[in-house]
Structure 1
C-alpha cells in the first residue's frame, strides 16, 4: 500500500490542504534518488541543521536558494579534463538537486562547506505578533503576559 487516504481528515480539518498536499507529493517523489545523502538534525527547540555529503564539490559548484517554505540545494560540477585514463570512477561526478519543504517562519541562518560536508543551519523565528499571549484582566489595566514577563498598559 503506497497511498495514504487523507479524505477523512480533509473533510474535518480546515486550512490544512497545503500540509496534505506536501505529504502526498513526498510519497509520489522518486524514492530511488538518494544522492547526495543527508542528515536532518534538531539542535534546539527552534534550530535545525541539514548536512549533505557533497564530496568533490567546491562552494562555487553549489547553489542554495531559499524561497517561501522551500529550500533548494543544487550542485553542478563543471566539466573537468583529466590527464590520463580513469580506471575506476567511484566518486560521484553528477549534479544533484535536493528540495526541502520548510515550515512557516523557518529561515536559513548559515551555510558552510568543509571536509566534503555542506552544513545548512535553519532557525525558526515566529514574529512577535504571532506568538501566543495571555491576557489578564484586572481593574482599569490590561496586563499582557508574554514568555513569563508582564507589561502593563492602560486599557481604552
Structure 2
C-alpha cells in the first residue's frame, strides 16, 4: 500500500468518529475469543495480551505461549491491510492511509524483533476460519515445543 503525500492534508477524525473508533476493541474480539476457546478445548494453555519488551519493539501478542515461545496475533482485515479484504478508506484518506501503513510497518517490526529474540510468530486474519487458524497455531506450538525439548535432551 502506498500513500501519495500530495493528497489532501491529513486531518484527525471528527469527535463522533473518535468515539466510534475508541469503542472498537483492541482485545477479546470475536475471532480471538473463538480461537482461544478452541485452543483451550485442546488442552493448550496460553497467556493473553502480554506486552514483551524486546530490542527495537514492544509487541503485545493477542495469544502468547511462553514456554514454546510462540506469539499469535489475530489481525483485523481493515486495520492490518489484509490483501484479500483490506481496503483504502475513501473518506479522509490523507489521515487513514498513513495510519494503516504505520500499522503494517509496526507489525513487520514486531515480527522481526520477536524472531530475532527466538520467538515463532503466527499471524491470523480475522476472516480465517477459527478451526483452521487453531490448527496452524497448534502446529507451531507443537513444533516449537518439540524443538526446545530436542535442545534440552
TM-score, scaled relative to structure 1? 0.29
Structure having the higher Rg: 1
Which has the larger strand fraction?
Answer: 1
TM-score, scaled relative to structure 2? 0.29
Which has the larger helix fraction?
Answer: 2
